[in-house]
Structure 1
Amino acid sequence: MAWQSPIAPGLSWYQATVDDRPEYPPLDGSRSVDVAIVGGGFTGLQAAYNLAVSGVSVLLIEGHRIGDGASGRNGGQFGTGQRAWPDELEAELGYERSKALFDMAERAKRYVHDFAAAQAIDMDYMPGQMNVSHKPGQDKDYRASAEILASRYGYPHVTFMDGKETAERLGTSRYHCGVRDTGTGHIHPLKLVVGLARAAKAAGADIREMTKALSIRQAGGKTMIDTPTGTITADRVLIATNAYIGNLEPVTAAHVMPIRSFIGATVPLDKFPDIIPGSEAVADSRFVVRYFRKSRDGRLLFGGREAYTADNPIDISSHIRRQIAEVFPTLHSIDMTHAWGGSVGITLPRKPFARDVMPGVTSIGGYSGHGVMLSNYCGKLYADSILGKAPDLDLLKDLKVPPFPGGARLRTPLLFLALTWYALRDRF
């Protein structure tokens, strides 16, 4: 991934705080396996682990280093449920399907905790998340969402916060109300990726970094993945590239689009104890979401999405510091130690994309900023489908996820125009 930072070139705060990040060799010749996986993030690695531990021969290739994509660079927030509020999904899909998707997300949450504990992965888990409104007049909606979660979805961990409580818990009066979720939290995502790769390798998965998939083709009931250093032949293939699909597979490319996301890390906030005193994660109500949290050592990790092309700002830190000052004026001159960026995969309706794009070839991605727990679980669900276990992946395959309009030539400029419009609405 190409990105720039004048503070710490090539280094995110996550990379700087991982003690040991093993390297895996590139592919060194052609291979034949039961299952081939393209993409070394949460989805691909969980699929590789769960297949290998069950005795399936599996080869995973990653075009860069393990963790260089969104899985190792994201905001680290778990969230609860799907990307949309359950009552919003219920209005579209009905209660039964909305409840099934909510329960799936709760299983995903438990799965990540159980997996990390079983593999002795310290992922810096910290409890608590708040969703807050940047506009006045949303009290009724936020209060109703908390009540619906408790009464209809069996989730009593979300409570409404009025303006006063919101200001006290955040340390800023920038937001007008919100909800606080004590049933979820946030993590150090790269520590989880690194531990997951180790577990997959130990289970018998063949992991190859710096191995780019050039094409996917089919012949004689098999699927072939061409790389610069050999061809992989497999009975089944999982495409788990998310925002980094490029031109590899056209169906996925039409449904999962990349947007650029940028995060900055400050020095520890020892002199500012009133800012997020409970150390929860926070996400606001903007369409172009601002998301921030306290790290275990007391830093503010602040993310925003304000770029919709493949280019990066020349100075990420200044860009992020301006947003921090809008939310926390007392931090207008806070020192920053790291700033980094990457691509996040989104779909048009902000629902995950899971589909069989060719015979024996499944693509999963498009988590739309809600993928830390769900992407891990989707990798497990893919393995379950291969192993003939629970068919939960069908819940996502049944979702209606239309392609982005405009075809291959106009998709990106139309997305740029649409997201710029929404960013202006957020601002004014």
Structure 2
Amino acid sequence: MSDTIYTEEASLPDPRAKDWDLPDRTDALIVGGGLTGLSTALFLSRAGRKVTLVDKGALGDGASGRNGGQLHPGHRQDQVWLTERLGEPLADTLWELGEQAVALVHQLRAELNEDCGFQPGLIEAAHTVRAFDASRHYADHLAERYGVETEILSREALAATIGSTRYVGGVRDATGGHLNPLALVEALAHAAHEAGAVLHPFVRAVHHSRRSGRIAVTLAGPGGDEHEIEADNVILAGNGYLAGLEPRVENRIMPLVNHIAATNPLPKALIPGGEAVSDTRHVVRYFRQDSEGRMIFGGGESFGRPPADVAAFVRPYLLEVYPDLADEPIAAAWSGTLGITRTRCPYIRRLDPGLYAAGGYSGQGVGLATFAGKVISDAIVGDTGTLDVFSHLPVPPFPGGRAFMSPLAALAMAWFAISDRLDLSRRGGEAAGTSAP
């Protein structure tokens, strides 16, 4: 994780198992050491279950410890979309669950005495007049339906708020914010370890099968040695990193690589209120200044291997928003693989008796991934109500499954980039005074 800046603030020790000492049986085997897996490990251990967690890499070395750190309320799909497809009662319940997800992160930060560098406030910046109109209408809907208080920012007000004139206007929401995601990962890891969970990084799950009411999983250690473990429950929490393990998950969750660059601490606060910002493009730009004053900027997506020079890849997106940073050196740049679904709805399910999966948070995982761990833990202990709600979300497989994801991803990213350019070439884009990168 040395290519990220998050390690500087994530100082809690890594409570990893010290040797290849895996049990033959466990109550719960968790595959994946990110926010979902560690949250599940924490809550199941507190419920008295014997928990074993494995991850083929270091804890938090996937999207959980490498993302932009933005904590959003709600879901990746908005409430209008959810209401149209699921009806008002279920959509309202999902809104409440989204609020609970944010609240859980704050509860854990306080309980575990780990601030994680949290700063409140989120801003959605509209890149066209049309997008600004849509953002304002949606803010009105949230106010009317859920009592959400937001602030509409004119072009001038937004420019003063984020230090950039590249957007038409925006909406500020005080209910979310941003933090160091790796600090949250390590706080959960430490707490899970203290609660009794055994954490084994650098151990890969190879295969699973049903055996006499339990699930047998073949694991491979860092030296290639294999070990078989039987579990009453198996939780697949590897998101976009489960290659070859479970087709039902892989066919629904596409691994997508996002790229982030960070500057050195800047001499002035470009975002004086300390909010995190994301824009309304299909290929989203998202950025924030952390507590040290560094600009952490995410831009661009790819499928497969990340670019050789991530800093050079992200810099044009950064300069599109902040051209005055042209001479500012990039202190660190990194990539991370998140999981998206066709509908951008999370895939949180019981696949079979004792077999659970959670992932596909589609860029909104800081809150939802942490919450999913509690949802699955509750279901295993006996309260399946919240898991049942998430099971109503439509998450169809990608056409052709895993084999066709690479060409589909390439086509989709090309189309989204073209759509953004078309948006800016229309009247709304001209009113914004911007140009596509």
- Mark yes or no: TM-score above 0.5: yes
2:397 corresponds to which residue? Answer: 403
**How far apart, in 2, do the equivalents of 1:353 and 1:103 lie?**
18
Q: State the Cα distance separating 1:394 from its structure 2 match.
A: 1.4
1:10-409 equivalent positions in 2, closer than 5 A? 10-22=2-14, 24-25=16-17, 27-156=20-149, 158-228=150-220, 229-270=226-267, 272-273=268-269, 275-308=270-303, 310-389=304-383, 391-409=385-403
**How far apart, in 2, do the equivalents of 1:10 and 1:199 lie?**
23
The percentage of aligned residue pairs carrying the same residue is 38
Which letter maps to 2:215?
A: T
* CA offset digits 1:253-305 (Å, max 9, x no partner): 000010111111101111x43x2121110011111111100100111000123
* CA offset digits 1:380-427 (Å, max 9, x no partner): 111111112362121111111100112332222122212221122223
Q: State the Cα distance separating 1:75 from its structure 2 match.
A: 0.5
Which letter maps to 1:245?
A: L
The alignment partner of 1:137 has SS state of helix
Could you tell which deviates more after superposition, 71-80 or 313-322?
Answer: 313-322
**How far apart, in 2, do the equivalents of 1:390 and 1:38 lie?**
21
**How far apart, in 1, do the equivalents of 2:337 and 2:343 lie?**
18
Q: TM-score, normalised by structure 1?
A: 0.94
Which letter maps to 1:54?
A: A
**How far apart, in 2, do the equivalents of 1:138 and 1:257 lie?**
27
* CA offset digits 1:331-384 (Å, max 9, x no partner): 112111100111010000000002222332011100000010111011011111
Which letter maps to 1:355?
A: R
Which letter maps to 1:295?
A: D
**How far apart, in 1, do the equivalents of 2:137 and 2:418 lie?**
28
**How far apart, in 1, do the equivalents of 2:418 and 2:20 lie?**
46
1:3 corresponds to which residue? Answer: none
Q: State the Cα distance separating 1:224 from its structure 2 match.
A: 1.0
Count of residue correspondences = 416
The alignment partner of 2:203 has SS state of coil
Which letter maps to 2:144?
A: S
The alignment partner of 2:99 has SS state of helix
The alignment partner of 1:354 has SS state of strand
The alignment partner of 1:12 has SS state of coil
* CA offset digits 1:178-201 (Å, max 9, x no partner): 110111111100011001000000
Q: TM-score, normalised by structure 2?
A: 0.92
